[in-house]
Amino acid sequence: MKKIFFISLFVSLAFTSFSQFYAGAHFAYNSTWLMNKQVFDEGPEMDIAVSFGNYYGVIAGYYFSDIVGLELNMNINKISQKYRGDFNIPFVDERAYYNSSLVLNTMDFPLLLKLGKSVYFEFGGIFSLVNQATYNKKFDGNYVIAVYKDIPFYTDFANRENVDVKETFKDFGFGAVIGFGTNINLIEDALKFNFGLRCNFIISDLEGINALGYTKDVRPWVSEKESKVFKTNPLYLGLKAGLIYEFN
């Protein structure tokens, strides 16, 4: 019992001697993806385009030792996904082209274990609240009828502008975060410049819509077989920078 007591006391004193609270703010610019197998498998009717987003927020953390810490962020996040697609127009050698986009605005709460200080590795979980979802779609011409996935008589050529589609998404999701970075002294043992790379992936299905604005229940444009793989998982990866202040 004495050995256990002294070991516990030693560990407690060791952690206390290195303990340090810090706080700050940061900004990240990300490559953003709304991962959806139904969209990816669709072919030319739904192609994804390179898309970017960003987040900014506040940081609060605590180092229990000189190499182990815990950090909580609160981030205002924007996830964009652009699409480009086309399908056959019957009886003529033409294609019906469109561009569409979907923007998700979320409030994210990553909780991270930090390993290292001047140079660090981080990993943990994330809770994401969906605050807003906006959809746009524009066709390149005035089309009347087309063939979509070998289904004739497609006539949904109405353009959409800033349509609120939040009700098609779940209210929140859970995911994982991994990253690494460095903290550079600006004022010794006080103000630091933080720079790093971070990847966020929402593992739970947020549902939502595809490139044409359809949910998984819209037949025949989303088949019953396709609806089983219709899942939306945001992925955003990018560089982050910020300032943190250490309270000694």
**What's this model's pTM, rounded to 2 decimal places?**
0.90
Contacts of 198 (CB under 8 A, 6+ apart): 28, 122, 177, 178, 179, 181, 237, 238, 240
In the chain, % of residues over pLDDT 90: 81
Quick check: 153 pLDDT over 80? Answer: yes
Q: What is the mean pLDDT of the chain?
A: 93
* Per-residue pLDDT tens digits for 27-45: 999 999 999 999 999 989 9
User: Distance between CA 25 and CA 52 in Å, rounded?
Assistant: 21
What per-residue confidence (pLDDT) applies to 1? Answer: 52
Domains of the chain (ranges, CATH numbers): 20-247 (2.40.160)
